[in-house]
Amino acid sequence: MSQTRNPLYVDVNVNLIYTEKMTEMHNIQWGIKAFAEMFDVTPRTIRFYEDKGLLTPNRANGARIFTPQDGVRFEKIMRGKRLGFTLDDIKEVLDVTDGHVTDHSELLRRRKNFETVISSLQRRRDDVDRLAKDMAEICEVIDSYLEETPAQDQVFDLAQAYQAKFSQTPFIGETLDEFQPTPNLSRV
């Protein structure tokens, strides 16, 4: 007689293991110095973000205690900063996700702003993709030039090789007929 496993039994075991791991994760805590080191910033930086209301660590005997949830939040803050958002921009988003904004008209206003930001980010992603292609082609030109040219200081020849390659396709992936400049939209 073949033995079949009850899917519920397997599911319960998986959830039990997951719950134990999550409980372990929830018990992890860091002081300000260790937390700052994880993100390669100074404790002063962490205190600055706390003063701005972006981080709210727990306290134990006056010491700041950071949890994995604080780590996730700080990573989102740092990602926003890397992408050029101001702290006020980041706070507007966090106020919504934290449930501090419940007014219907304010939520609609912020949603409209967020949609504008999404469009801007998509344009930036297209620009990054295009620039990455351009840089990859430049690397190909350099590799080709280095393979074909003896080692010596001939910057002028490299510039000519570069110009020859890009005069064939002035805009990577586009012909002159297909070229349409990206409109210069104001910063969001």
**Domains of the chain (ranges, CATH numbers):** 7-87 (1.10.1660.10), 104-168 (no CATH)
3-state secondary structure of 20: helix
Residue 106 predicted with pLDDT over 70: yes
pTM: 0.62
Residue type, 144: S
Q: What DSSP state is assigned to residue 10? A: H
pLDDT band at 78 (very low <50, low <70, confident <90, very high): very high
What number of H helices and E strands is found in the chain? 7, 2
Greater pLDDT, 4 or 135: 135
Which ranges of 63-154 does DSSP label H, i.e. alpha helix? 68-82, 87-97, 104-148
Residue 47 backbone phi and psi in degrees, to 5? -60, -35
What average pLDDT is seen over the chain? 80
Greater pLDDT, 122 or 148: 122
Residue 61 predicted with pLDDT over 80: yes
**What residues pair up with 65 in beta bridges, in sequence order?**
58
**Cα–Cα distance measured from residue 173 to residue 179, given in angstroms and rounded to the nearest whole number:** 9
Q: What is the pLDDT of residue 11?
A: 41
Residue 185 predicted with pLDDT over 60: no
Q: What is the pLDDT of residue 123?
A: 95
- Side-chain-facing half-sphere of 43: CA atoms under 13 Å: 9
